[in-house]
Amino acid sequence: MKYKELVEIYEKLEKTSKRLEKTFIISEFLKKIKKEDLEEIINLLRGNVFPVWEEKKIGVSEKLVIKSISRIAGINDKEIEKKWAKIGDLGKVAEELIKNKKQTSLEEKELNLNKVFENLRKLASLEGEGTVDKKVGLISELLSNAQPIEARYIVRTILEDLRIGVAESTLRDAIVWAYLGKELKIKYINENLELEDRKNYDFIIERTQYNYDLCNDFVEVAKNIIEYGIDFHKKTKLSGGKPINVMLYPKAESIEDGFKSVGKPAAIEQKYDGFRLLLIKYKGKINLFTRRLENVTKQFPDIVMLTEEQIKGDDFILDSETIAVNSNGQWLPFQALSQRIKRKYDIQDIIKKIPIIIRIFDVVKYNNENLMEKPFIERRKLLEKIVKKSNKFDIAEQIITDNLEEAKKFYEKSLISGNEGIMMKDLNGKYQPGRRVGYGVKIKPILETLDLIIVAAEWGTGKRSKWLSSFTLSTIDKESFLEIGKVGTGIKEKSEEGVSFKELTRLLKPLIIEEKGRIVKLKPKIVVEVAYEEIQKSTTYTSGFALRFPRILGIKEDRRPKDVNDITSINNIFIKQRNRFIK
C-alpha cells in the first residue's frame, strides 16, 4: 500500500471533530485494506508503531527531527526553530519547507506504507556509537522521498503527536463497524448511527472493549473479530504475557456506603500510598507493568527477584501495590517512588536509597487459567497458597467483617500507618479489567485529591523566568479536556524539597505545541495530584467548575491522560461537598 493512501485518511480525520464521522472514515478504510497491512495501519492510526505496552518507543527528540529537516530542506536549525515557534507544529514546518525546497532529489521514490513503518521501528532499536547519525539518516530517507503532506504526518508520528483526534473508543467502534457491520446491520446515514438492535450492538461494543482490556492491542482485537466473526467474544482469552487494563474502584462516601455497594460481610483491605504494579510471569520470564502499561522491569530488579523467589507458579498475573520505605522500614508517600520509576541508570544505587515492599491484593491468572470470573474470596484463598510471605513481599492486610465499628477501627489503623484509606470488596465480585464496576470501592478522607492534567502554562518572571510557573489544569469529558483552574502553589524552588518548577518545566517543555507570548499550550500528558479547599461553580473555565486554593501535591507517574478525574466525578464531589457544608 502507498503511504499517501493512509495520509488521505489522516487528512479527513483531522478536518472533522465529529466522533461518528471519524468512526465511519476509519471503518470504510479498514474494509478496503489487505490483512497483511492490518498491523501497520492500526498502529499508525494510533500514531505509533508499537502496542501501548511495548517497552520499545520511537524515542526521537524534536532536536533530532529538526536536524533531519535541515538536512533535506537545506535550511539551518535556527531558522527551523523560529518557524516552529511561530507555527507551533513541527509537522507543518516540515511540510512547508519540503514544499519550498529548491530542488527535488533525483533519487526520490514514492513512499510505501511498509517502508515508513519499517524505518520508524528501526529508530527504536538503534543504540551505541553513531546512533544519532543513523537516526537522522532513517528520518531523512523518509522525508527526502515524502510529498509535503506526507512529511507532516511522518514528523508527527515520530514525535508521537499525530493530532487527528482518534481516541481508543473511536478505533474500537471503527473495528466493529468494519468487520461486523453487516451482522449488526449498522448504518451511518446523514451523520447519524442507525441500528436495528441497539442492545446487541452495545453488547458487542462492550465485549470488544473487554477484549482490548485483556491485551491492550487493537491489532489482536481486529484479528480476533476477523477470524471468529460475531462470536469472537466467546473465544476471548488472556494473551500470554501482555498486561491487562487493571480493575478500577469508585470512591464511596463512607464505610456505611461501602457496605451498601459491596454487601455484607465485606473484605476490607488497607489502601496503600504506592503505585499499582502488575507482576506477570510468562514462559519463565517476569515482567512488571504500571497501570499506565509502562514496562518498568529494568527499574525494579529487586521486585523481579522477590517475585521469582516468593511466588509458586510458572504462569501468572498478579495485581499489587509497591510502597517505598525508609531505612527504618517506615512507609513513605507515593512521591518517594517517582525517582525509582524514572531511573534507568545506576539502578543498584537507587535500590539502596529507596527500598520497596510489595503487597499483593489480587490474582487474575494462574497457571494458564483465567480467574477473572472466579469470586474474589476464591482468588484471595489462592493468593494465600501461592505467596511465600515476608516483610518485603506479602498479601494486602485484610479483615472480613459485617461490623461497622470493626471496619472503622481498621480504617483508622490504616490511616495511622500512613495509608490513603481502605478498600472494601465484594466477596463474590469478579475482576473486571479497565472498569469501575462496583465489585469494590475505596474509602479515603474527604476531601479527596484530584488527578488532573496540565494543558497550558505561563513562563515565569524574575527569578522564575526560565521556568514555567503557572499551570492550567483540566478534567476530561469523554474525549475532551475541560479547564478547571490554574495552580502555582505546592511547587518547590528546589527539587529535593518536592515537585519543583525546574522538574515540571523539564517535563512540559517538550510538550509545547503552541506559544503566544508567555503563554504556552501543551500536549496533554503530565498528570498531577491536586489538593484543594473546595470545588466551586465557575463561568471562567470550560468545565463549569473551579478549584478554590488548589495546590500540586505531586506528579502521578502511573496515570495516563484518560485516567484523570472526569467531569462526572467532579460534579459528584461538588454535590456531596455542598451537602456536607449545608449540614
Per-residue model confidence as pLDDT tens digits over 207-246: 999 999 999 999 999 999 999 999 998 888 887 789 999 9
Which of the residue ranges 320-324, 399-403, 475-479, 513-517 has the most confident prediction, judged by mean pLDDT? 399-403
Q: What is the pLDDT of residue 336?
A: 73
Q: C-alpha grid cell for residue 174?
A: 471503527
Per-residue pLDDT tens digits for 456-493: 999 886 667 788 989 999 999 988 899 999 998 888 87
- Helix/strand/coil for 566: strand
Q: Which residues are designated catalytic?
A: 271
Q: Which residues pair with 398 in a beta bridge?
A: 269
Q: Which residues contact 491 (CB under 8 A, 6 or more apart)?
A: 469, 498, 499, 500, 501, 504, 552
Specify burial of residue 146 (Cβ count, 10 A radius: 0-12, 13-18, 19+): buried
pLDDT in tens, 62-99: 899 999 999 999 889 989 988 887 787 899 999 999 98
* Rounded Cα distance, 381 and 373, in Å: 15
Q: Which domains does the chain have, with CATH numbers?
A: 255-439 (3.30.470.30), 450-582 (2.40.50.140)
Instruction: Report residue 494 as a C-alpha cell.
Output: 528546589
Question: Based on C-alpha coordinates, what's the Rg of the chain?
Answer: 25
Amino acid in the structure at residue 234: K
Number of Cβ within a 10 Å radius of residue 150 = 24
- What confidence tens digit (pLDDT) does each residue in 31-59 have? 999 989 999 999 999 999 998 888 888 98
Tell me the C-alpha distance between 380 and 398, whole Å.
10
Q: Which of 115, 145, 165 is nearest to 14 (CA)?
A: 165
| C-alpha–C-alpha distance, residues 357 and 512, integer Å | 37
pLDDT attached to residue 328: 80
Q: What are phi and psi of 273, to 5 degrees?
A: -95, 65
Residue 581 has what pLDDT?
A: 34
pLDDT of residue 583: 29
Calculate the dihedral angle through the C-alpha atoms of 422, 426, 427, 429, rounding to the nearest 10 degrees: -130
558 has pLDDT over 90:
no
Q: Render pLDDT for 501-538 as a digit per residue (tens, 0 to 9).
A: 888 998 999 899 888 777 899 999 999 999 887 888 88
Instruction: Choose the weakest-confidence range: 181-195, 429-443, 494-508.
Output: 494-508
Identify which has the larger pLDDT, 320 or 500: 320
Whether 294 contacts 455, CB under 8 Å:
no
The dihedral of CA 98, 103, 107, 109: what is its sign?
Answer: positive
Confidence label for 175 from pLDDT (cuts 50, 70 and 90): very high
Strand 393-395 versus strand 356-366 pairing type: parallel
pLDDT at 580: 38
SS (H, E, C) 361-383: EEEEEECCEECCCCCHHHHHHHH
Quick check: 578 pLDDT over 50? no
Average pLDDT along the chain = 90
Most confident of 128-142, 270-284, 392-406, 414-428: 392-406
CA distance 122 to 120: 5
Q: Which residues, in sequence order, are bridge partners of residue 481?
A: 476
SS3 518: coil
- Listed in sequence order, the residues at least 6 apart from 132 whose beta carbon sits closer than 8 Å to its beta carbon are 64
Total-model pTM: 0.80
Distance CA 479, CA 492 (A): 32
Of 102-106, 381-385, 519-523, 557-561, the range with the lowest mean pLDDT is: 102-106
| Separation of alpha carbons 396 and 416, rounded Å | 16
